[in-house]
Amino acid sequence: MDTAIIITTKDRVSYLFRAVDSIFEQTIKPNEIIIVDDCSIVKVPEQILSLYKSKASNLDIVLKYYYNPVSMGGNFSRNFGANNTSAEILFFLDDDDIYTPNAIEDKLTIFKHDNNIGMVYTGIKFVTSDNLETIKRYKRPLSKKISFHSLLKFGNIVGPTSSVAVRKNDFIKAGMFDKDLIAMQDYELWIRMARCSDVVHDNGMNLIYTIHTTGEQISSKHEKYLRAAEYIFNKFSKEIEALNAHHHFWSEVYFRVALSASHSSEFKKIRYASKSFLLRPSIKSLALLLPTFALRKIKPFV
């Protein structure tokens, strides 16, 4: 079962090769590593690239590097990587995240067990960009199998792009990443993957996910998050209404917006946490009504 790791990167060379090193340490090596550089200001130095291609070759891995002359975004870049490999199983890895040594092996074991499985996800260990060696928090998978309906009702209960691997045929059948989305592209794809295949977890926590203390992630830009949520709601409005999940969907969206807004605006955080709570009362949305400085003592990454 051939595998390819698709890494999207932009202006983060030091993080990029930290990610590649984690792939070199896998118990089962991939057939390919495909790096898609989305128009970095400075390309990866040829000397470093040659060194890593040599390291990859010594491990029987083909390392490919593509450079977008114009920034096309993460969705385009991931689809481009997928279109430039014949591998049956695709892993998506953001340049600032890394795998634990069993990441590939654990997912392949699941894929080999059942051809109906189109996507496998894993649990997450969180680190911060100012302390990459210390695990600050863990996120274990909520359930063995995730359905199309549960994703519409409860939001992105799978996790980020780096936490999954997909069967390429099912990924293509689902329509690949939506290039029109400005945020939440992972969540929207998970919905479509769950509609056309089974989605399960690998019983592990095989991703180390980096939280940037400077708020670099797209998820910290709450206005883009809102626009993306509106786009997703319109795309799946019939299914959401059929499930009577309108309040569930928007409560989860407003909670995520409140969480990301906490980096920049106490007023917006409280506003959207209140909206989340009124639509669907929960302890987590109620907790966001606390002052951010107090909340950070409970939840480190707010």
CB-based contacts of 130, cutoff 8 Å, min separation 6: 213
198-201 and 117-121 strand pairing: parallel
Alpha-carbon distance of 205 to 102, in angstroms, equals 9
Average pLDDT over residues 51-78: 98
pLDDT tens for each residue of 242-281: 999 999 999 999 999 998 888 788 999 999 999 999 999 9
User: What type of residue sits at position 71?
Assistant: S
| Per-residue confidence (pLDDT) for residue 294, from 0 to 100 | 66
For the ranges 195-204, 218-227, 261-270, which has the lowest average pLDDT? Answer: 218-227
Q: How far is CA 91 from CA 118, 186, 273, 299, in A?
A: 12, 13, 34, 29
Q: At what angle do helices 246-261 and 266-279 cross, to 10 degrees?
A: 160
Tell me, rounded to whole angstroms, the distance of Cα 224 from its chain centroid: 16
- Residue 78, both tokens: 């991931």
- 156 φ, ψ to 5°? -80, 80
137-139 and 207-211 strand pairing: unpaired
pLDDT at 143: 77
Q: Which residue has the tokens 């003592």?
A: 297
Residue 298 has pLDDT above 80, yes or no: no
Residues 141 and 123: their CA atoms lie apart, in Å, by: 5
The average confidence (pLDDT) of the chain is: 93
141 has pLDDT over 60: yes
Query: Which value, in Å, is the radius of gyration of the alpha carbons in the chain?
Result: 19
Over residues 189-205, the mean pLDDT reads: 97
Domains along the chain?
Answer: 3-211 (3.90.550.10), 218-298 (no CATH)
SS3 61: coil
Cβ atoms 38, 74 nearer than 8 A: yes
Quick: pLDDT tens for 5-55. Answer: 999 999 999 999 999 999 999 999 999 999 999 999 988 999 999 999 999
Q: Which two tokens stand for residue 258?
A: 């409140």
**What six digits make up the tokens of 119?**
């996507």
Q: Given this model, what pLDDT does residue 216 score?
A: 52
> Is there a contact between 261 and 222 (Cβ–Cβ < 8 Å)?
yes
Q: How many angstroms separate the Cα of 266 from the Cα of each of 15, 258, 298?
A: 31, 9, 17
- Reported pTM: 0.93
Tens digits of per-residue pLDDT, 89-135?
999 999 999 999 999 999 999 999 999 999 999 999 999 999 999 99
The dihedral formed by the CA atoms of 254, 255, 261 and 262, expressed in degrees to the nearest 10: 150
Q: Could you tell me if 81 and 36 are in contact, meaning their C-beta atoms sit under 8 angstroms apart?
A: yes
Report the C-alpha gap between 66 and 184 in whole angstroms.
Answer: 24
Positive or negative, the Cα torsion across 280, 284, 285, 287? Answer: positive
Q: What is the pLDDT of residue 120?
A: 98
